[in-house]
Homo-oligomer: A and B are copies of this chain.
Amino acid sequence: MSSQHSDTRTQILQATWQLMEQHLGQPIKMGDVAKAVGISRQAVYLHFKSRTELMIATSNYVDEIKGLNERLNIYKKATTGVERLEACVEVWGHYIPEIYGLAKALLATRDTDEATAAAWNNNMHCLRDLCQEIVETLKQEGLLNSAWSPEEATEIFWTMMSIHHWEQLTVECAWSNQQYIDKMTVMLKKMLIK
């Protein structure tokens, strides 16, 4: 509980996150984390009993710092479905680039590591709930495109907002982030709204 303890722990988390952002998907090594902090590899294991645990702790740490929750203040001001949709894309669109490294790192282990996959899914289900809420609002306003059931609409919305989708458009197709936000808003409106 000493400040030293939590200091080192925080330094490790900070370094891990930084390495994730730098390496963008390439697996980070425990030794590299230790070197970055300036401690021995074994010291890392004093704070996190495995690589998996470190990854998950890093995810939680980033959540704490960059958490979506506060961001949703913008969102909460919106009342109509359309406004909410716009706010959601805006908030999420600005959020992704800040957590892209972390997201890639967690997604990379998805198929081999149940636990980190779960940590990531947890984040994504928050987004999904938001999508669902917006779809519900649109439905109540009678604006939901009748081609989809509310469930389908939610799933389409959610899928369109995925990190992979963002990655392909910005990284592969070299869209700017603003372009992503603008075009995604137009696309979603076209698809979901009557």
Stretch at the interface among A35-43, A68-76, A89-97, A167-175: A167-175
Selecting from A24-32, A45-53, A133-141, the interface stretch reads A24-32
Asked if A66 is at the interface of the complex by the 8 Å CB criterion, the answer is: no
- Given the interface contacts A111-B104, A190-B190, does A168 sit within 8 Å of B159 by beta carbon? yes
Interface size class of A (residues with CB under 8 A): 20 to 34
Give the dominant DSSP class at A's interface. helix
Which residue from B104, B152, B162, B187 sits with its C-beta under 8 Å from A191? B187
Closest to A165 in B: B159
Instruction: List the B side residues contacting A25 at CB < 8 Å.
Output: 110-112
Q: CB of A126 within 8 A of chain B?
A: no
Residue A86, interface by CB 8 Å:
no
Contact with B along A151-165 (1 / 0, CB 8 A): 010011011001011
Q: Which residue of B lies closest to A108 (CB)?
A: B111
Whether, in the assembled complex, A118 has its beta carbon less than 8 Å from a beta carbon of chain B, the answer is no
Min C-beta distance of A11 to chain B, whole Å? 25
Q: Which A residues lie at the B interface, using CB under 8 A?
A: 24-27, 104, 108, 110-112, 147-148, 152, 155-156, 158-159, 162, 164-165, 168-169, 173, 175, 183, 186-187, 190-191
Q: Top 9 nearest A-B pairs by Cβ distance?
A: A25-B111, A164-B164, A155-B173, A159-B168, A26-B111, A26-B112, A190-B191, A159-B169, A147-B186
